[in-house]
Structure 1
Amino acid sequence: MGLANTGPLDFTRGGVAMQAPEEVPGGVGEPVPPAETATEAPTEAPAAGAPPTEAAEAPAETLSTAIAESRVDVRALTRVLFERMAELPPGTPEHERVRAALIEVNLPLVRYAAARFRGRNEPMEDVVQVGTIGLINAIDRFDIDRGVQFPTYALPTILGEIKRYFRDNVRTMHVPRRLQELWVQVSGAMEELTVTHGRQPKVPEIAASLRIPEEDVRACLDAGRAYNATSLEAQQEHDGGLALLDRLGYEDSALTHVEHRDMVRHLLVQLPDRERQIVMLRFFGNLTQSQISTELGMSQMHVSRLLARIFARLRSGNHWES
């Protein structure tokens, strides 16, 4: 997501003059989390007739140059820009320039929030773009008169926009809302336990830490990273080019008959050759009694009697039958 090129913002124009401090607490390279508070130094305007300051004597610096050199107090500059934007009519070119400057100054806050989602297999550029939308919404809604620092107000809005993006646009598989919310707690507990124990925590440890059933933790781990569905025919690079379909097992329908086959084989070897041949032709060759009689040169009635006698002998020798 690119910002509109509204031109460089001059620090000495439009009442936005301020001298950049030498040291930058919570500078652009390191956004300070909203949990930390910083005391903002008031900007003192030079008295009438006073000699010009170094900032006034020096050539006008652009905003991007000052940010790149990390010589800007981001929180103080943000407050000055909000005060200036409040004085300008919405929709004017100057108002848009100040608004664009606010977005550019606070982009590190977006990167700070996006860094929490590095393990989601989603390009960070896309996450930063979505977070920038949340930053713009926060800028448009922020009221400087409430006395709240802008990072404290903006960070929940940025995080909410990113989470909504993952919930509505990234997942190709539907995951219940309860598991999505639980995943946030589970992932946080995993990070804390990893630091505490120096290893990846086990499911019982995570469940005990959050005081939830182990089944919920397992379901959450299965669903937490289920963002994309992979084709069964797609080749996996880390598995030597094998597709998922080649690695999936299946239940053999003949598995339940293994014991019966072994028992029948044990009994058949005990039969005389002619009786064994009749059984093979009847049950393995699928021949009728009439066909067997023609094959062996005997009457059908004789074949029927032999089969009845064979069955009786097999049943008597079946010691496995309960």
Structure 2
Amino acid sequence: MTVIDITSSTDVASELIAELAALPEDHPARPALRDRAVEAWLPLARHLANRYANRGEPRDDLHQVAVIGLIKAVDRFEAGRGVEFTGFAIPTIVGELKRHFRDKTWSVRVPRRLQELRLAITAANSALSGTLGRSPTVADIAAHLQISEDEVIEGLEGARAYNSSSLNTPVAEGGAELGETMGGVDAEYELAELRVTLGPALAELDERERKIVILRFYGNQTQSQIAEQVGVSQMHVSRLLTKALDKLRNHLGPVAV
């Protein structure tokens, strides 16, 4: 499911944001309405948090960070700027998630649930080895602990995170090292986030600025060609383009961190 799928059916949530933006800061109804607006947009925060799952951080922690970003978006949103709430909230929440990862310094971090599961599996393995007279299988441990086999496997995988390996560790006789098997950064994820917020960002430009940006970066036209179409000098096109790009950078800043 994409962000667009989630936000397409949020009429009530959008109405709450509009009502909140229309209330004065000191209005007595504002706190309760703010809480309702945050609650209504929680699916968006959870969706964005889930995109950053399986990167070493507990999903619940990521959800909490995303909610913090959502609250900041609700408090800072200005309806008068002509930008939809999603166009403002998405980069705000994503920026909060990225800062969360950036500020972490642990090399290996295992969620408490997996820590407890690892201890339970270790104890079950010892008990069953004596009872069965052999090494217990995953099914044996699952039945003993009354959990699923998938949970046992997850616990066993989580236990491996306590031991880190050097990227220089040989993995083949030919001399290949572990670091050579690692994948690279996929820039397409960053571009996807930028595409989501680019439309609302362009909406902040006036008609002439928007036309110049589109002609330059979508039409691949030179500043001189644009000047002929817009009816101004090439120097003025350059100034307008610089101004428009500054506006876009300010709007897309959190996403581009």
Higher RCO, 1 or 2 (CA under 8 Å, sep at least 6)? Answer: 2
The structure in which a higher percent of residues are helix is 2
TM-score (norm 2): 0.40
Larger Rg: 1
